[in-house]
A and B are shown apart, each in its own frame.
Chain A
Amino acid sequence: MGIDSALHEIRRLDDLASQDTCLHRLDARAKVLATLFFLVSMLSLGRYEVARLLPFACFPLLLAVQGRVPLGLLFKRAALALPFVLFVGLFNPLIDRTVQLHLGPLAVTGGMLSFTSIMLRSLLAVTTGLVLVGITGFDQICRALGRLGMPTALLVQLQFLYRYLFVLADEALRMLQARAQRCAKNSRPSLREYRALLGSLLLRTLDRAGRIHQAMLCRGFDGQMPDLRPTTAFGPAEWRFCAVWGLFLVAIRVLDLPLYLGAKAGGLIP
């Protein structure tokens, strides 16, 4: 991914996070905890489970709709995250060839089932993570983790990185554009050019760190970033959110909802 598209993607999610819906107003801790619970309950299903993964799609889907996160963006990102999972997962159908069930004339092997399962898991995990950012925002997630016990040094580090990521990436982008304008062909830098590019970016980075430190001292930095939003409390709305999703997730983890529905539907057919 190029720097400009990466920056664009980050800003896009950031814009989504600055919306004002009932989900955005919830305390970030509730959303973070619900997401973690979702991941653990979803990923703890057995490796041949396909149908039972499907009800879990409710969580990212409903939250995305309620929090006005466009589904197209989620699927596009999920597709970008696939290569490594695809690479590892592709071996399953090749290695595990025991026939597990027959769908009409098609014999489904265990490997095919587990491969489908891996793809579904990836889709669900990736979209859920993105939805969390889209309805919460990076800064709020970090603060929530801080209030849940993450060390302050790491919290400040995350906030600093997020603040200067744009500055540094812009700087790198300007250097690349200047190079592209001078060298008249749109090729990747050679090793020599790369050394010069990255070296001077590194020098600028170090200088910038010095200037930031001076500015921080002038403004009385006390080891923590000031919070610009009012701190939210874990109130009734948060408890309700956690309780509803918690019960739902426990229910679909324990009960085989698709099998039950399938049996009921099958019973209707004479």
Chain B
Amino acid sequence: MHMADALLSPVVGGTMWAASAGLLAYSSSRLKSSLDDHRVPLMGVLAAFVFAAQMINFSIPGTGSSGHLGGGLILAVLLGPHAAFLSIASVLAVQALFFADGGLLALGCNIFNMGFFSCFLAYPLIYKPLAGETPTRAKLMAGSIIAATMGLQFGAFGVVMETVASGISELPFDSFVLLMQPIHLAIGLVEGVVTAMLLVFLHEARPELFGVARPGLETRSLRPVVVGLALAAMVVGGGLSWFASADPDGLEWATAKVSGKGELAAPETGIHATLDALQKRIALLPDYNFRGAEAAKGEARKDADSWASVDAGTSLSGVLGGFMTLCLAGGVAFVLRRRAQAKA
């Protein structure tokens, strides 16, 4: 479920990069403040473990297909959310650079889809309450299966939102959701079962890894703020794209109601003519490509389309740009605050 560069617009890619960068900065500062250099090699080696484990497939009984570990949740359980988020980001970066899984602009989306949801939503909100302080076999199984499934559902939904918001693919939201969510329900169940198996195995082999409180993992009051901020960026990004795609239709409908005919006749002079000329200069398909009878119709259509889309595009990038700035500023402020606290 790697999001790909080719399906992404720079505005959406940049927004998701800003959200991921903010989370990365926040996680890094949290790790720095709980200076525990024992975890440095553990994070690196466990990320390498996940990388290797993703390439070992097993056959799923009764189906003939194969599955493998994704690794987001198990990293969160073994390392805590912040260190796990960095580890997942590093695995995704290696995959993006060497295997072109996703791409460089899409890396922000992928870190968010696969890191944020499993580390900052599924782990603390689903796995931890279900597994409890002293996990048993059943609790581990239930916690990791539900958490992994939910994490992947959110991640797949993120892919859908980002694709639809970018508007490069024509796939409508509802059919894309109907394609992605059931597939990832199956993938999530496999991920949950494998994670649960490994956790039960570890629980039997190394019980000291569980139940021992590790420092630096306690929750702080500011986490919900960052989580909320990132969620807001996501929701707004997706929500606005809806308006952007719904707007032209609404506009056309409105003009039809007001003027009583389908399309408004364009005035010959004035600002519309100027804009029209400008639009023709930057349009992808010059008029002479349209043939005779279709030319007039096609041009009118193109006019209406470009009017609406230019409009919606600017307002979308304006609002998303604002959110990007907000996320960036939030990230910077966070780092500075942590530094100030460390000095004090």
Q: Please give the residue numbers on chain A whose beta carbons come within 8 Å of chain B beta carbons, in ascending order.
A: 1-3, 6, 9-10, 13, 35-36, 39-40, 43-44, 46-49, 52, 77-78, 80-81, 84-85, 88-89, 91-92, 95-96, 98-102, 111, 114, 117-119, 121-122, 125-126, 128-130, 132-133, 138, 141, 150-154, 156-165, 167-169, 171-172, 176, 187-191, 193-195, 197-199, 201-203, 205-206, 208-209, 212-213, 216, 221, 223, 256, 259
Contact = CB atoms under 8 A, between A and B. Distances in A.
Contact of B6 (A125, A130, A141, A165): A125
Contacts of B242: none
A213 B46 CA distance: 13
B55 A201 contact: no
Contacts of A130: 100
Residue among B61, B169, B176 with the highest chain A CB neighbour number at 10 A? B169
B170 interface: yes
Given A48-B285, A203-B205, A96 B58 contact: no
Contacts of A47: 167-168
Interface residues of B, number: 85
A92 B170 CA distance: 5
B104 A205 contact: no
A129 B95 CA distance: 11
Contacts of A171: 52
Interface string B26-43: 011101100001101111
Nearest first, the 6 A-B pairs at minimum CB distance are A160-B44, A151-B28, A122-B6, A125-B5, A194-B58, A153-B28
Interface stretch (B139-147, B196-204, B229-237): B196-204
Which applies to chain A's interface (DSSP): helix, strand, loop or mixed? helix
B144 to A, nearest CB: 13
A114 B43 CA distance: 42
Nearest to B89: A154
A153 B32 contact: yes
A252 to B, nearest CB: 14
Contact of A191 (B61, B86, B285): B61
Contact of A84 (B2, B24, B42, B289): B2
B52 A168 contact: yes
A126 B103 contact: yes
A216 B37 contact: yes
B100 A77 contact: yes
B47 interface: yes
Interface stretch (B8-16, B217-225, B259-267, B318-326): B8-16
Which applies to chain B's interface (DSSP): helix, strand, loop or mixed? helix
A70 to B, nearest CB: 16
12 contacts: A77-B100, A80-B99, A88-B176, A111-B170, A121-B168, A151-B32, A152-B32, A157-B86, A163-B44, A164-B44, A167-B48, A206-B45
Given A101-B289, A125-B105, A213-B42, A81 B90 contact: no
B66 A188 contact: yes
Contacts of A223: 37, 40
A89 B169 contact: yes
B59 to A, nearest CB: 4
Given A111-B170, A187-B59, A190-B61, A10 B98 contact: yes
Contacts of B205: 199, 203
Nearest to A3: B55
B183 to A, nearest CB: 11
A180 B45 CA distance: 25
B40 A156 contact: yes
Contact of B51 (A88, A129, A168): A168
Given A161-B47, A193-B58, A138 B5 contact: no
A130 B43 CA distance: 26
Given A40-B105, A158-B93, A118 B284 contact: no
B97 A212 contact: no
Contacts of A9: 98-99
Contacts of B172: 95
Given A92-B169, A161-B48, A206-B206, A77 B56 contact: no
Contacts of B9: 43-44
Contact of A157 (B38, B43, B99, B335): B43
A185 to B, nearest CB: 12
A158 B111 CA distance: 14
A188 B59 contact: yes
A211 B300 CA distance: 71
Contacts of B125: none
B270 interface: no
A20 B27 CA distance: 37
A88 B103 CA distance: 16
Nearest to A164: B48
A133 B134 CA distance: 45
B315 interface: no
A88 B7 contact: yes
A78 B99 CA distance: 9
Interface in B252-294: 282, 284-286, 289-291, 294
B49 interface: yes
B25 A151 contact: yes
A126 B100 contact: yes
Given A96-B170, A102-B289, A164-B44, A118 B198 contact: no
Contact of B5 (A99, A121, A153, A162): A121
B96 interface: yes
B329 interface: no
